Structures are given as C-alpha cells and as structure tokens.
Amino acid sequence: MSKNPNRKKQAKIIRGFRKVHRFTGATLFIFFFVVSISGLLLGWKKNSNDYLLSKTYEGTSTEFKNWLPIDSLQTNATAYFLEHISDEIAPTIERIDVRKEKGTAKFIFKNYYGIQVDGATGNLLHIERRRSDFIEGIHDGSALDVYFNTTGNPIKLIYTTIMGLALLLFTITGFWLWLGPKRMRRRT
C-alpha cells in the first residue's frame, strides 16, 4: 500500500490551522466573551421591559407645524437634565432622535441618560438611564474612547478591526478544521 504524498501536507496544514485557531481563541477569549454577552443583551434591548432601553413615549402632536423649534426643545431637555439628573454633570447632548410618528424628541446625553420631551409642548415625557448605549459602547469598544476622552474613536477602530479580523480568522480556520479531515478520509 502506498501512502498518499498529499496526506502529510494536508495534515500539516490542518495542524497549522488548529494552532492558529487555538492561539487566537485563547488570546482573545475574554473579548469574545464580552462581545457575545453584550451582543445578546443588545438583541434583547427592546424586549427588556424598559430596563435596557425605555419605550418611546407619545407626545401630543405628530405634525411638525405644531412643534416647538428644536433649540427650544433642547433648552427644555437641558433644564430637565439639570433639575432631575444632576446640576454637577455637564449636560452634553450626543444626539437628538426625533420620532415624528410619536410626537417625541429624545435627547441623548453623553453620560448615558436620555430625556424624552413632547415635540409640541416641550413638556417632559420621560427620563431614562440608557443602559443599552453603555452596553453598545462595551460591545464596540467606544466606551473606552468615552472613558479616555479620545478624539476620532481610535480605540473603537482598533478594537473592531482586531475583533473583526479575529472572527474572520476563526471562521476560516474553523471551516478548514471541519473540512480538512473529511477531505483526508475521502482520499484514503
């Protein structure tokens, strides 16, 4: 019986993939764990009974012609922040989420708070702790950019690049760890 000369070469390739797969998994285990748990939580955020992300409350009008100007709504939201959350934390707005169909404007602050105001009256509808935004920051690494006050999100870019390439590497090596032995058995 003659041995297949390609069999040794294929076995060597599979061993190499196994080493890369094992090293990557061991090195990035904690990061994969964090990404998987945070991704699971993000997937459930709208079904968390308002714990991770509050529902959108309804204002009195869905017609923009009846709404106050955005700068007036922003003034109100900032005042509500200072009155109800803290007058010692800077109320820095990260973004404004306008929900015309609900008659609501959500003011999202950099410190993971959100204030929903009625678009027509400017009245306070809801104050929320936006846990889902914090979890998203953990998931994509941007929470570290916030913590270190970096410009341009360099930590997020490095983190997502490493994790994306690692997942790609895991997919390729995992596929070959599955397919390689099947091919070797077929050729014997």
pLDDT value for 180: 79
Query: Beta-carbon neighbour count of residue 153 at 10 Å?
Result: 16
Domain spans of the chain, in order of start? 1-52+130-188, 54-129
- Whether 36 shows a pLDDT value over 90: the answer reads yes
Confidence bin at 188 (pLDDT 50/70/90): low
Query: Which pLDDT score is estimated for 24?
Result: 86
The share of the chain scoring above pLDDT 90, in percent, equals 72
Read off the pTM: 0.80
Question: What is the model's pLDDT at position 43?
Answer: 97
Mean pLDDT of 30-43: 96
* Model confidence at 111: pLDDT above 90: no
Q: Is 105 exposed, middle or buried (0-12, 13-18, 19+ CB in 10 A)?
A: buried
Tens-digit pLDDT profile for residues 51-66: 999 999 999 999 999 9
On the CB side of 30, how many CA atoms lie within 13 Å of its CA?
3
pLDDT tens-place string over residues 119-154: 999 999 999 999 999 999 999 999 999 899 999 999
Contacts with 23 (C-beta within 8 Å, 6 or more apart), sequence order: none
Are the beta carbons of 94 and 110 closer than 8 angstroms? yes
What is the CATH code for 54-129?
3.10.450
